[in-house]
Amino acid sequence: MTGPRAHLRAAACSDIGPHRTTNQDAAFTASWGAAVADGVGGGPAGDFASAAFIHRLAAGRLDGLEPVQLADAVRSANWDLRAHVERDPSLSGMATTFTGLFAAREGGLLLAHTGDSRAYRLREGALTQVSRDDSLVQALVDRGLVSRTDAASHPRRNIITASLSGAERDAATVTAYDARPGDRWVICSDGLTDYVPDAEIRAELMRQSSVGAAAEACVAVALEAGTRDNVTVVVCDVVDDDSGGAPAQTSFYGAAAARFMEGLESA
């Protein structure tokens, strides 16, 4: 017997930041899911990669899927990146991180993740990082070679060990979580987490009642902290079916709001 379908009240904010000329972050929000993708720095067309992936994924309306179905949807969106490269070889090497939260068929939530864009859950005042960074520094932490405190300022913290580039081997880790009304989830690019401690993120999430104000506040804190990257924050509240969740319309942010909007039907 399945439980009631989870609903999300979600909003996002994305800022290019004062030190970048292009926003390579892309995001979307809907009542059935939300995600952030961050174009991999140092490669070509990071904004194209993140925006193309987010649009392809959101167009499928991933509402109430099993874990294997979500993994397949991520794989299909990844293949779309490969198709873009085959049409335009100058895009070869483009890649993106991806972290997304989706309503599951069994009444819970599914988190899909690859790269270093993070997901956190605020439950009863406690903020927990629920994603694991696919990064060189995280691997060093796991081996006991770098402390968690030093990892936050490590000079090689932006080197990631997994991303989506259209390659056959690319994949996202999909994990199931319970959907408890009152929980607040945050999905964000490293433009926030590389510059703002978790305690400050928690404080803003506790201070702001609406998801939109919370997302904007987190971005503002990152800018005040001197972030040198794009910064994108999605905030999702888990709500009851009858509590006025977000409308079915899908909203796009960052690079996804600037690219691929033509002809996209609302999911």
pLDDT digits (tens, 9 = 90+) for 5-32: 778 999 999 999 999 999 999 999 999 9
Q: What domain count does the chain have?
A: 1
For residue 263, tell me if it sits in a domain: no
Q: In the predicted model, what is the mean pLDDT of residues 253-257?
A: 96
Q: In the predicted model, what is the mean pLDDT of residues 198-211?
A: 97
Across the chain, what does the average pLDDT equal? 87
Percent of the chain past pLDDT 90, that is, above it, reads 71
pLDDT band at 67 (very low <50, low <70, confident <90, very high): very high
Strands 118-123 and 109-114: unpaired
For residue 32, tell me if it sits in a domain: yes
Q: Please give the pLDDT value at position 102.
A: 95
For residue 175, tell me if it sits in a domain: yes
Q: Of 118-122, 187-191, 222-226, 248-252, where does mean pLDDT reach its minimum? A: 248-252
First to last CA, the chain: 27
pLDDT band at 115 (very low <50, low <70, confident <90, very high): very high
Structural domain range at position 46: 7-258
Q: Please give the pLDDT value at position 266.
A: 36
Q: Of 61-75, 81-95, 109-123, 164-178, where does mean pLDDT reach its minimum? A: 61-75
Q: In the predicted model, what is the mean pLDDT of residues 85-108?
A: 92
pTM, rounded to two decimals: 0.89
pLDDT tens-digit series, residues 146-163: 656 655 665 566 676 789
Which residues, in sequence order, are CB contacts of 73 under 8 Å at separation 6+? 57, 60, 62, 65
Q: How far apart are CA 77 and CA 148, in angstroms?
A: 33
For residue 264, tell me if it sits in a domain: no
Q: How far apart are CA 248 and CA 225, in angstroms?
A: 35
For residue 194, tell me if it sits in a domain: yes
Q: How many CA atoms lie within 13 A of 210 on its CB side?
A: 8
For residue 69, tell me if it sits in a domain: yes
Q: How far apart are CA 246 and CA 262, in angstroms?
A: 23
In this predicted structure, the answer to whether residue 140 has a pLDDT above a threshold of 80 is no
Q: In the predicted model, what is the mean pLDDT of residues 69-81?
A: 94
For residue 91, tell me if it sits in a domain: yes
Work out the burial of residue 258: count CB atoms within 10 Å of its CB; fewer than 13 is exposed, 13-18 middle, 19 or more buried.
middle
Q: In the predicted model, what is the mean pLDDT of residues 89-112?
A: 93
For residue 2, tell me if it sits in a domain: no
Supply the DSSP string of the chain, one letter for each residue.
---PPPEEEEEEEEE--TT-SS--EEEEE-SSEEEEEEBPTTSS-HHHHHHHHHHHHHTT---SB-HHHHHHHHHHHHHHHHHHHHH-GGGTT--B-EEEEEEBTTSSEEEEEESS-EEEEEETTEEEE-S---BHHHHHHHTTSS-HHHHTT-TTTT-BS--BSS-TT---EEEEE---TT-EEEEE-HHHHTTS-HHHHHHHHHH-SSHHHHHHHHHHHHHHTT--S-EEEEEEEEE-TTS----SS-EEEEHHHHSS-TTPPP-
Percent of the chain past pLDDT 70, that is, above it, reads 82
Q: In the predicted model, what is the mean pLDDT of residues 207-218?
A: 97
CATH number at residue 12: 3.60.40.10
